[in-house]
Each structure stands twice: as structure tokens, then as C-alpha cells.
Amino acid sequence: MYQDGEGKATEMRRQIMNHISENHLEQYAMRRLPKAALPKVEEHLLICSQCRERLEAEDRCLAAFKAAATIIRPKRTQAAHA
């Protein structure tokens, strides 16, 4: 399709620029994304497997943090009562 590597690089940059930002992806995963941004993000997630994979990784990370917090929190509470 491309005659040279420059055309491929330009197309890749264009595609990357259209991906969901890290900030928006994190806000979406935490259900804190402003309502005005939801339709655009959700539409992009429908068509972009790379951003869906990034969202799944974000979800796994958040789940790990939540699990760690439930383990750590009781220990702090117990120490405070000792």
C-alpha cells in the first residue's frame, strides 16, 4: 500500500493520535470520566482492540489495588486498636 516507510510512519502516528489518552482511559475504568466524553470513548473502544486491551490492563491493575487495599486495611485497623 505504501511506497516508502515514511507513509507507514505517518499513518501510524495518525492512528496513535486517535487513541484514548491514558488519563481518559483511567477515568473511564474508574467510572469518573465526564459524561460529555463517554460517547466518544465508548465508540472508540468498540472499534479499537488496542485500547480495549489497554482498558483490560487498567481494570486488572485497579482490581489488584482494590484487593491489596482490603488486605492492608484490616491490618492497619488492628494495629490501631492494639
Per-residue model confidence (pLDDT) at position 69: 82
Q: What angle do CA 20, 23, 24 make, to 5 degrees?
A: 50
The pTM score is 0.64
What digits encode the pLDDT tens for the residues 23-44? 999 999 999 999 999 999 999 9
Q: Each residue of 38-69: b (16+ CB within 10 Å) or e?
A: eeebeebbeebeebeebbeebeeeeeeeeeee
Per-residue model confidence (pLDDT) at position 2: 44
In the CATH scheme, what is the code of domain 5-81?
1.10.10
Residue 75 pLDDT > 60: no
Q: What is the mean pLDDT of residues 13-27?
A: 81
- Do you know the residue count of the chain? 82
Per-residue model confidence (pLDDT) at position 8: 63
| DSSP reduced 3-state for 4 | coil
Per-residue model confidence (pLDDT) at position 1: 43
